[in-house]
Structure 1
Amino acid sequence: MVKPVQRRKLADWLVREKKLSQRKAARIAGISRRMLSYQSKKDPQDQLKNQILAIVEQHPYWGFWKVYHYLRKKRNINQKVNHKRVWRLYCQLQLNLPRKRSKRLPERIQQPLTQLKKRNQIWTLDFMSDALTDGRSFRTLNIDLIRVQHRLDEYNRECLAIEVDFSLPALRIIRVLERIIEAYGKPEKLRCDNGPEFISTKLNEWCEAQKIEL
């Protein structure tokens, strides 16, 4: 059995190659003249979506209005296509969602390595993360004292505290430090990375009040 698509192709061939009229070609192929004259049309919505995606891919940091005006000026879209229609398609493509931007960390002046000469000169603070068997993640705050050995160029670490919890904000870090200071005395300097807990205003203010370099 000949499929309608094949009949349509036969009729097209008769018109194109044999120069028959559409009426006669349709009768020979066994299809209606309307089916032969029908031209499939692409969805204009899909065409517009593809144009929007092409612009966003080329200019990833453009907002909606830049994309819209570029469509009107450069892509020659129909003038009847207003911004509301473009915005609706823009939202369907989820291009209106806010893009995540990485936080800019404050610049720290690079300092030469400190030569340790006495106890409690430098404490180091760092976090580690892991997960329980049920999938919940937890963190550990490790506070170490860097100790000088018999030679001035040899050092090791003495663990002063390990704090474990699901959340360890800046205020919790301060409480842990205060507890350790009561037992070991006050350090001259805290060495840590640029984690959000360590660059918080509260921890900076506490260190200034304690005259501890951070």
Structure 2
Amino acid sequence: MSERRACKTIGCCRMTVRYRSIRPQDEALRERMVALARERRRFGYRRLHVLLKREGHAVNHKKLFRLYREERLAVRRRGGRKRAIGTRAPIRLPLAPGERWSLDFVSDQFTDGRRFRILAVVDDCSRQNLALIADTSLSGTRVARELERLIARHGKPTMIVSDNGSEFTSNAILAWADKTHIEWHYIAPGKPTQNAFIESFNGRLRDELLNETLFSSLHHARAMLARWQADYNTTRPHSALGWSTPSAFAATFHPQRAPTLRLSNGSAPTPVAQPANELSKTAGSELTTG
């Protein structure tokens, strides 16, 4: 088919088919732009345009952007820190002490300005504070070691709940959870209400001890934390437990008759969760997470 008939068939102008671009290739400009981009790997086309103008290259920013795209020099945006994705499955409320623990960190400082951290561990059913570990640095390996010590004292929980902190998502914790066969539940990023038990405890710890005490040293902080922990578990009344203490509630708990618990004073506390029905699941027995 001739060119005339082909252009008529497809409806194209013969001048367009015969046109040959006279646009310069700008090889020198391209080479210098690529060299600058390799030297300044995080510079975009705007900053490269400024550098090229300083060197005497008279080029429009729109033309430079076209060359920039043709050379595929676009800077990739760096993503945020990788976080563990919280599960979308509902999490059941614990029906007995030792079923589920919650972990979180609290920060404070000494009188000289140095900061320290506190690892808090809470039993979600009895509300008992199982540990308050204070140190200037708490790595994932240290967290795993402290959890081993708590398991030796209190027994192994079925599940542990935490946020997406770097210590809880470290390889040390992932390997430890796999070795001990403990389910580790990560809340959805930015949703601290999904870990409400430990968040409530952190609020009480901050209000009643950390904001009321000046810590002079790590030894002083550990001593005050141990004293407050004993008071919290054995003396301080807890409103969610019918104004009983966490230790008293855990001591009188019997799994077979959880809905009809009786405290030492004869009153029945508000149940932590209703037992799940074999045939149906009620919304009150589940805590939506993410």
TM-score (structure 2 length as normaliser)? 0.39
Superposed CA offset, 1:93-128 (max 9, x none): xxxxxx996413232222313132222110000100
Other-structure match for 1:125: 103
Q: What secondary structure sits across from 1:80 in the alignment?
A: coil
Other-structure match for 1:202: 172
Other-structure match for 2:115: 137
Q: What secondary structure sits across from 1:109 in the alignment?
A: coil
Matched residues in 1 for 2:127 and 2:183: separation?
Answer: 19
Q: Which runs of 4+ in 1 moved over 3 A?
A: 68-73, 99-102
Q: Which has the larger radius of gyration?
A: 1
Superposed CA offset, 1:60-111 (max 9, x none): xx943623553489xxx476269xxxxxxxxxxxxxxxx9964132322223
Change (3 A) 1:140 1:69: closer
Matched residues in 2 for 1:66 and 1:182: separation?
Answer: 60
Matching of residue 182 in structure 1 with residue 130 in structure 2: no
Runs of 5+ in structure 2 lacking a partner?
1-40, 59-76, 185-290
Q: Cα RMSD over matched residues? A: 2.8
Matched residues in 1 for 2:48 and 2:108: separation?
Answer: 49
Matched residues in 2 for 1:165 and 1:71: separation?
Answer: 50
Read off the aligned partner of 1:66 and give its amino acid letter.
Y
Greater shift, 180-189 or 108-117, is seen at 108-117
Higher RCO (CA-CA < 8 Å; seq separation 6+): 2
Read off the aligned partner of 1:130 and give its amino acid letter.
D
Other-structure match for 2:11: none
Runs of 5+ in structure 1 lacking a partner?
1-61, 83-98, 148-155
Matching of residue 70 in structure 1 with residue 15 in structure 2: no
Matched residues in 2 for 1:78 and 1:165: separation?
Answer: 53
Read off the aligned partner of 1:70 and give its amino acid letter.
H
Change (3 A) 1:173 1:70: same
Read off the aligned partner of 1:190 and give its amino acid letter.
I
Matching of residue 164 in structure 1 with residue 134 in structure 2: yes
Q: How many residues align?
A: 126
Change (3 A) 1:171 1:68: closer
Map 1:2-151 to 2 at 5 A: 63-64=42-43, 66-71=45-50, 77=53, 80=56, 102-147=80-125
Matched residues in 1 for 2:83 and 2:114: separation?
Answer: 28
